A and B are shown apart, each in its own frame.
Chain A
Amino acid sequence: MSLLTTLARLEAIRSGRAEPLATVLHRHLADRPMVLVPLATAAEDGAPLAVLLGTDRAEPRLHIVPQPLNRERRAEFLAALADDLLPYLDSFAAAVELIEGSEKEPATGEKTVTTRELCLDAPQLIVPNVGSVRHLALLGRATRFRRTAEDPDPGPYPAPTRVPLLGRWLTHLTERAQVPGSSLLLPMTGLLARHWATGQSLLEDQHLAAQLAWHHPPAGLTGAEAAELAETARGTDGRLLHPPAGPATDPRFDEKLLAPAIARFDAAQAAARQGRPDAAVDLAAAVGELRHLLLEVLLPTWTDVWRGLDLLRALPPGGHLAERWESDRWSYTGHRDRLAAGEPPQPRVDDAVTAARKLAQREREQVRVGVQEALDDPLAMAERRLAGEAFSGVVTELEPAYDTSGRTPKPRPLLTVHTTDRPHADLGREVHRASGPAAQKAEVVAFDAAAGLITVRVVNGMGRKKEPEAGSLPQPGEPVTFTLFELAPRQSAPLPEPDDTPWTHGGPPSAAPRSASVSEEWA
């Protein structure tokens, strides 16, 4: 945790309210996001219990598994969820723009112009917390390999085609959520924690209601008191007044209310199987009771997620959001194309090359999002300045100077900046001008820490002439910020194709024995 974040947390404790960590919005928020609140069954890892979803806060739609241990009921639930979610995911596939690019023919080196489709917009799923993301990943993994009636060997329990399709989408979205700065699938607790500090620990912030309590504590209560109420207050019947945001449910709710309701459902079903006269009515009643119970548990979190969206939407968007959202749109378009091309589902585990590629991409994006947030938001830049990785100040002097080593002299002006920051600016260190008219590098040539004066020699971004282009240099009196970090991530080194995996990494995966990938270890 950075010094500034720690300070904001201390301030939140003192003021009793959440304190801002950002002046702009740092993640893209869609106009029509799909809010999705999943619940899991306590008994079995990743077993779904219910989900509440929708794009309209007034009209959440509920799907439940009345008997979570019954695989048939689970299959019905997954089919219903797929019916509900897939149309939303597909609705962005048709509207595209055409992007022109050029491709080099590897053999001849000849360049050809290519056009690729890029979807104009992409879906966005908002879930309450990181646990929900993990739950969706498990659902994706459990469904994307399901065999369907169309398979050559459909097996005894073929699933509707849309179920493995749902699994592939969920897998894609949860994988994409691992990429720093991506916005296709976002947990609300993470979004809020990026933009505001509360006076509680990061672990406590995982409880959505408790984190939100710091934003709107009821009159007379501090954020900490309100958060504690949200976590622990119970009604006279022993139920939590504010149920946890899931995917796990409150054990006492499971024991006292959920289990008896499921037992009544089981009894009604058994009766129906035996052909008792009123069984259908009882069964419908039992399902109705379960739906009612679960809706009561889910609704408070549903409201919380939308309240969180309200808070975030009040922030002005950061300058680089559109650029990062474009990467998300490419990601969405790419998956759309893979589905259309009939490619097989994502493998159970990545091969060595794919894993290395994904890690390289995530590291690149981590750098990019860190730099872009600093450029978009003075508060984010302040963190870097406090860490000695950047300095802001006012230009006090601009002295023309030239590099005369070449045939024609090149401008290498000396810029002196007065700053109260204390950067780790060793002599000779390369610095980068933030938010200038063009990318501009400079080199530290003098640093008088006592007087707060840093002199840098500007080495590029001044045009090609003998004198610097007008407007390319900051003038005396002008505020300026230089960073010690580069403003764009480094390109990642090329990796071999999976089929060229070297001996150090076990050789090509296609040559390896297939047994492990076909059957699960525990099956």
Chain B
Amino acid sequence: MSLLTPPTPPSPAAAADAAVAAILAATVHPAPGAPRGVVVDSPPGAGKSTLVVKAARELVAAGERLMIVAQTNSQVDDLVDRLAAKGTELTVGRLHSGEARPAAEALRHPNVTASSKPADLLELDVVVSTAAKWQWVKDVEPWRHAIVDEAYQMRSDALLAVARLFERALFVGDPGQLDPFTVVGTEQWSGLSYDPSSSAVVTLLAHNPAIEPHRLPVSWRLPASAAPLISEAFYPFTPFRAGTGPGDRLLLPGTRSDGSAVDATIDEAAEYGWALLELPARHTVRTDPQAVAAVAALVRRLLDRGLVASSEQGRVPLTAGRIAVGTAHRDQAAAVRAALGALGVPVDPVAGPAVSVDTANRLQGREYDMTVVLHPLSGRPDATAFHLETGRLCVLASRHRHACIVVARAGIPELLDEHPAGDPVQLGSAMRIPAGWEEKIGGQVIGLLERVGAQFPDGWEANYRVLQHLAEHRVRGS
């Protein structure tokens, strides 16, 4: 490179590599006196899982053994599968509960041992289990290192129960996704740094002010059409960019449109990466039959029209296994599944490649070429905190590599206007304003925001931002 070349911003790959190198250095070779935790904030599809595998391999290469905490059994199985496949030199233990058998893909590797007794696995390089299972492990020497995956989904009380098992830990997670929740009232503790129902990372950061969260700056999953919107709406103060440029990802319909609204929606999504199929305004029951039928028809036509997804990974036909449908509630998912079954679309993964139909909670951390989303506020007469929760919309709108179609009743902006967030403000909530925010929002406000535990981003605002963008890709249905 000539000395005269003006400095160019680093390529996405270089920026991501630099971030990962810094994280690995802090984890594997911590400076003397460094905090005991390393926190990594990762936007959707930024290589979080890859980072976890890398960190595990490097720790083992440095002569360490480690434990990994994930939040659900399927996350653990996924992780074990990846670890064993990428790190053939590792011995991996899958600690499971008496009832839940590990998935077959986790056990197919020769270097994986599964057991429900921790004692069987202590000698292995890496032991992976859910937070719920780790909580019951006792009478073991603490590990020197741990990795906590999906740490923002983990509740503070779960961390309280497992923290005795390790000395240092790498916490990796996506702060924009769904917060942990509970079904009972917790107002009594809101404002406490260790509110048991809050996220484990929030508690950790409040008690360890020396920890500066690292950040993965590039989303490899989201296409160039989606990364800016998702970054702006859900990660306003920790922006990220797409790893691919405009035109790197293409969706090519195999057959022409039949002129219907459904096909027009598919064409819009194929061209721009977003489409909104808007049904006439109406208050409906949760399992709105028309909206469910529209979702099912969209998926049926996606399969019938033989779309081809072209990307840096090559050209592949868009088959059932590469499509997901996301909803807010389980009964909606069940209704969509039934409607798809009636149209002959495979929805049972046991029987072969199938369309995944699930709630936002269960789609977290998963990736598809194309998603069809039933908007959480569609047809509702009110906007509750549940439906406004930023994480829910963020999860639903950030699972795709190519395009996302949203199905909704008209009238959501009006609904939002009528339901500004009205929850009581709790004084003194544990919230830390990340470095660099001062310039953006003004130094004086920060103290105040910290006192009232302001939520960023605000669900109301994020919903608006997404709707505004979708309005440019609207197709009216009937």
Interface residues of A (CB under 8 A from B): 3, 178, 180, 349-353, 355-356, 358-360, 362-363, 366, 387-388, 424, 493-496, 500-507
- Give every chain A residue within 8 A of B196 (Cβ-Cβ): 352, 355-356, 358-359
Q: Say yes or no: is B186 at the interface (Cβ < 8 Å to chain A).
A: yes
* Interface contact A350-B189, CB-CB below 8 Å: yes
Measured CB to CB, the closest approach of chain B to A369, in angstroms, equals 11
* Interface contact B331-A504, CB-CB below 8 Å: no
* Interface contact B208-A504, CB-CB below 8 Å: yes
- Give every chain B residue within 8 A of A500 (Cβ-Cβ): 164
* Smallest CB gap from A349: residue in B: B192
In the assembled complex, the Cα of A325 lies from the Cα of B197 at a distance in Å of 27
In the assembled complex, the Cα of A501 lies from the Cα of B204 at a distance in Å of 12
Q: Say yes or no: is B328 at the interface (Cβ < 8 Å to chain A).
A: no
* Interface contact B159-A505, CB-CB below 8 Å: yes
In the assembled complex, the Cα of A202 lies from the Cα of B81 at a distance in Å of 49
Known: A359-B184, A424-B334, A506-B207. A501 touches B189 (CB 8 A): no
Measured CB to CB, the closest approach of chain A to B115, in angstroms, equals 19
List CB contacts (< 8 Å) of B26-51 with chain A: 36-37
In the assembled complex, the Cα of A353 lies from the Cα of B189 at a distance in Å of 12
* Smallest CB gap from B194: residue in A: A352
Known: A363-B184, A366-B184, A503-B207. A355 touches B192 (CB 8 A): yes
Taking A356-B196, A424-B334, A505-B159 as known contacts, 15 extra A-B pairs with beta carbons closer than 8 A to each other, sorted by chain A number, are A178-B188, A351-B194, A352-B156, A355-B157, A355-B195, A358-B196, A359-B197, A362-B185, A493-B132, A493-B161, A495-B160, A502-B164, A503-B208, A504-B159, A504-B204
Interface-centre pick from B156, B188, B197 (highest chain A CB count, 10 A): B188
- Give every chain A residue within 8 A of B330 (Cβ-Cβ): 424
* Interface contact B334-A355, CB-CB below 8 Å: no
* Interface contact B157-A359, CB-CB below 8 Å: yes
In the assembled complex, the Cα of A350 lies from the Cα of B189 at a distance in Å of 8
Contact for B194 among A387, A493, A505, CB less than 8 A: A505
Q: Say yes or no: is B238 at the interface (Cβ < 8 Å to chain A).
A: no
Measured CB to CB, the closest approach of chain B to A452, in angstroms, equals 15
List CB contacts (< 8 Å) of B186-213 with chain A: 186, 188-189, 192-197, 200, 203-204, 207-208
Contact for B161 among A3, A351, A494, A506, CB less than 8 A: A494
- Give every chain B residue within 8 A of A180 (Cβ-Cβ): 184
Mark B197-232 against chain A: 1 for CB-CB distance below 8 A, else 0.
Answer: 100100110011000000000000000000000000
Contact for A496 among B36, B160, B189, CB less than 8 A: B160
* Interface contact B184-A353, CB-CB below 8 Å: no
In the assembled complex, the Cα of A501 lies from the Cα of B331 at a distance in Å of 40
In the assembled complex, the Cα of A506 lies from the Cα of B138 at a distance in Å of 22
Q: Say yes or no: is B163 at the interface (Cβ < 8 Å to chain A).
A: yes
* Smallest CB gap from A507: residue in B: B207
* Interface contact A502-B192, CB-CB below 8 Å: no
List CB contacts (< 8 Å) of B136-185 with chain A: 136, 138, 156-157, 159-161, 163-164, 182-185
Task: Show 15 A/B contacts (Cβ-Cβ < 8 Å), sorted by A.
Answer: A178-B184, A180-B184, A349-B192, A355-B189, A359-B196, A363-B183, A388-B331, A494-B161, A495-B160, A500-B164, A502-B160, A503-B163, A504-B37, A504-B160, A504-B207
* Smallest CB gap from B158: residue in A: A493
List CB contacts (< 8 Å) of B103-156 with chain A: 132, 135-136, 138, 156
Mark B317-356 against chain A: 1 for CB-CB distance below 8 A, else 0.
Answer: 0000000000000110010000000000000000000000
* Interface contact B160-A356, CB-CB below 8 Å: yes
* Interface contact A505-B183, CB-CB below 8 Å: no
In the assembled complex, the Cα of A24 lies from the Cα of B341 at a distance in Å of 40
* Interface contact B185-A494, CB-CB below 8 Å: no
In the assembled complex, the Cα of A308 lies from the Cα of B196 at a distance in Å of 36
* Interface contact B186-A359, CB-CB below 8 Å: yes
In the assembled complex, the Cα of A87 lies from the Cα of B184 at a distance in Å of 33
Measured CB to CB, the closest approach of chain B to A511, in angstroms, equals 12
* Interface contact B138-A494, CB-CB below 8 Å: yes
Known: A359-B197, A494-B135. A502 touches B163 (CB 8 A): yes
In the assembled complex, the Cα of A504 lies from the Cα of B207 at a distance in Å of 6
Measured CB to CB, the closest approach of chain B to A39, in angstroms, equals 23
Interface-centre pick from A350, A351, A355, A505 (highest chain B CB count, 10 A): A505
Measured CB to CB, the closest approach of chain B to A34, in angstroms, equals 24
- Give every chain A residue within 8 A of B186 (Cβ-Cβ): 359
* Interface contact A363-B182, CB-CB below 8 Å: yes
* Interface contact B160-A353, CB-CB below 8 Å: yes
* Interface contact B331-A387, CB-CB below 8 Å: yes
Measured CB to CB, the closest approach of chain B to A517, in angstroms, equals 12
Contact for A494 among B136, B156, B194, CB less than 8 A: B136
* Interface contact B331-A506, CB-CB below 8 Å: no
* Smallest CB gap from B341: residue in A: A449
- Give every chain B residue within 8 A of A495 (Cβ-Cβ): 157, 160-161
In the assembled complex, the Cα of A491 lies from the Cα of B161 at a distance in Å of 14
In the assembled complex, the Cα of A355 lies from the Cα of B36 at a distance in Å of 24
* Interface contact B334-A388, CB-CB below 8 Å: yes
* Smallest CB gap from B135: residue in A: A493
Measured CB to CB, the closest approach of chain A to B359, in angstroms, equals 12
* Interface contact B161-A496, CB-CB below 8 Å: yes
Interface-centre pick from B157, B161, B192, B195 (highest chain A CB count, 10 A): B157
- Give every chain B residue within 8 A of A507 (Cβ-Cβ): 207
- Give every chain B residue within 8 A of A496 (Cβ-Cβ): 160-161, 164
- Give every chain A residue within 8 A of B192 (Cβ-Cβ): 349-350, 355
Measured CB to CB, the closest approach of chain A to B348, in angstroms, equals 9
In the assembled complex, the Cα of A496 lies from the Cα of B135 at a distance in Å of 10
Known: A350-B189, A424-B334, A496-B164. A505 touches B184 (CB 8 A): no
* Interface contact A493-B204, CB-CB below 8 Å: no
Measured CB to CB, the closest approach of chain A to B278, in angstroms, equals 26
In the assembled complex, the Cα of A507 lies from the Cα of B163 at a distance in Å of 11
Measured CB to CB, the closest approach of chain A to B416, in angstroms, equals 21
In the assembled complex, the Cα of A3 lies from the Cα of B331 at a distance in Å of 12
In the assembled complex, the Cα of A69 lies from the Cα of B206 at a distance in Å of 39
Measured CB to CB, the closest approach of chain A to B334, in angstroms, equals 6
Measured CB to CB, the closest approach of chain B to A296, in angstroms, equals 32
In the assembled complex, the Cα of A506 lies from the Cα of B285 at a distance in Å of 46
In the assembled complex, the Cα of A424 lies from the Cα of B196 at a distance in Å of 31
Measured CB to CB, the closest approach of chain B to A353, in angstroms, equals 7
- Give every chain B residue within 8 A of A355 (Cβ-Cβ): 157, 188-189, 192, 194-196
* Interface contact B188-A356, CB-CB below 8 Å: no
* Smallest CB gap from B188: residue in A: A178
Measured CB to CB, the closest approach of chain A to B174, in angstroms, equals 19
* Smallest CB gap from A449: residue in B: B338
* Smallest CB gap from B286: residue in A: A3
In the assembled complex, the Cα of A21 lies from the Cα of B130 at a distance in Å of 39
* Smallest CB gap from B138: residue in A: A494
In the assembled complex, the Cα of A173 lies from the Cα of B319 at a distance in Å of 59
- Give every chain B residue within 8 A of A350 (Cβ-Cβ): 188-189, 192
- Give every chain B residue within 8 A of A3 (Cβ-Cβ): 285
Known: A494-B135, A503-B207. A356 touches B157 (CB 8 A): yes
- Give every chain A residue within 8 A of B183 (Cβ-Cβ): 363, 366
In the assembled complex, the Cα of A504 lies from the Cα of B189 at a distance in Å of 17
- Give every chain B residue within 8 A of A363 (Cβ-Cβ): 182-184
Instruction: Give me the 10 closest cross-chain CB pairs, A-B, nearest first.
Output: A493-B135, A502-B163, A356-B157, A352-B194, A506-B207, A356-B196, A362-B184, A359-B196, A504-B163, A355-B196
- Give every chain B residue within 8 A of A352 (Cβ-Cβ): 156, 160, 194, 196, 203
In the assembled complex, the Cα of A353 lies from the Cα of B136 at a distance in Å of 16
* Smallest CB gap from A426: residue in B: B348
